[in-house]
Amino acid sequence: MRKQIKRTAGLWIAAVLLAAWPCHAQQTDSDESRITLYRINSAETQLESESVKRNSSDVRETVEQMIAAFNPVEGAAENSAVLPDNGKIIAWNLTEEGVLELHFDTGYRETAGTREVLVRAGIVKTFVQLPEINAVHFLVGEDELTSQKGEELGSMTGDSFVELFSSDRDSYRYDTFTLYFTDKNGTKLLPETRRVYYRSSIPKARVALEQLAKGPIDKGHYPTIPDSTELRSVILSDRVCYADFDRVFVEQRLEIDPLTAVYSVVNTVIANTETDKVEISIAGNADVKMDEETDLYNFYQWNEELIAEE
């Protein structure tokens, strides 16, 4: 009852201020009446943003509105931006500390790899816009959501994710990148430094891997992946980089040791970003083999042994 009285009083005060200062109030009300909803694009390679009108200024009603936007709608056309039928949000709670606890149906665990990270990033970035929400906590049923390594993910904020958004920002910057190519025999990695001028909205991991695909400049260095390889998405979360390439990466791979190709990607990413591990997937599928002995479904770490001695 006390909360209802407080809310009524707050709305009455807001109405008085609106009448006394209409121009300022109308602008503020307009800003607060919308929220950005982050969804996955149709190719499932990055997040797209959509500005939607809030149905209410109340945080709890807005949470319900956003959950409805992410949950599947019966009879609606399939949309890659929403959760699967057996993995939707079934309950939620907002703590006094501003942590939004989202409880998912058990089928959420079937969403894996880059798609799961993108879904999670979109949901977190959507909710933390609300001033009352400081972080988002994922639970499957009553259990903590864990990484593929089995580690609990805990509470997440917008800073927990770094990924490529659709963006028209035009600011650019210079950075020095260390790329790992191979020797003539295709068995050792050779570092090559390169200054790159790039749009600052693009993650360094993407820039580094795109430069790797362009091939080496230094004499005696040889490429490790086909130059026509397309990097579909690259996402950094929890110090893990998820790099998703198209099928050219494996179907047209160069005649070098498969592990050399894999670790050229891994070492290049780790050398240029704040990550410890890299998972490589092909067209959204991590369960792919380079050959009979080289499985991409793995968290690869820095490999010092493959780097050639100077």
Task: Report whether 226 contacts 254 (CB < 8 A).
Answer: yes
Residue-wise pLDDT for 84-126, tens only, equals: 778 899 999 999 989 999 999 988 888 777 778 888 888 999 9
CB contact burial 236-245 (16+ within 10 A = b; e otherwise): bbbebbbbbb
Percent of the chain with pLDDT over 90: 48
User: What number is the average pLDDT over the span 299-310?
Assistant: 92
β 89-94/135-140 pair status = unpaired
Q: Which two tokens stand for residue 71?
A: 């949950």
Q: What is the pLDDT of residue 294?
A: 82
Identity of the residue numbered 159: D
Q: Which of 291, 236, 303 is nearest to 263 (CA)?
A: 303
Q: Which two tokens stand for residue 65?
A: 């509105």
Residue 12 has pLDDT above 50, yes or no: no
Question: Is residue 31 packed enough to be buried (19+ CB in 10 Å), middle (13-18) or exposed (0-12)?
Answer: exposed
Q: What is the pLDDT of residue 148?
A: 65
Q: What is the pLDDT of residue 74?
A: 64
> What's the pTM value of the predicted model, to 2 decimals?
0.57
Instruction: For residue 205, report the phi and psi dihedrals to the nearest 5 degrees.
Output: -60, -40
Task: Report whether 307 contacts 255 (CB < 8 A).
Answer: no
Percent of the chain with pLDDT over 70: 82
Q: Where are the beta strands (DSSP E) in the chain?
A: 34-40, 47-53, 89-94, 99-104, 135-140, 143-144, 155-156, 161-163, 172-182, 189-199, 231-237, 240-245, 277-282
CA atoms of 158 and 208, how far apart (whole Å): 23
CA atoms of 233 and 61, how far apart (whole Å): 33
Residue 82 has pLDDT above 70, yes or no: no
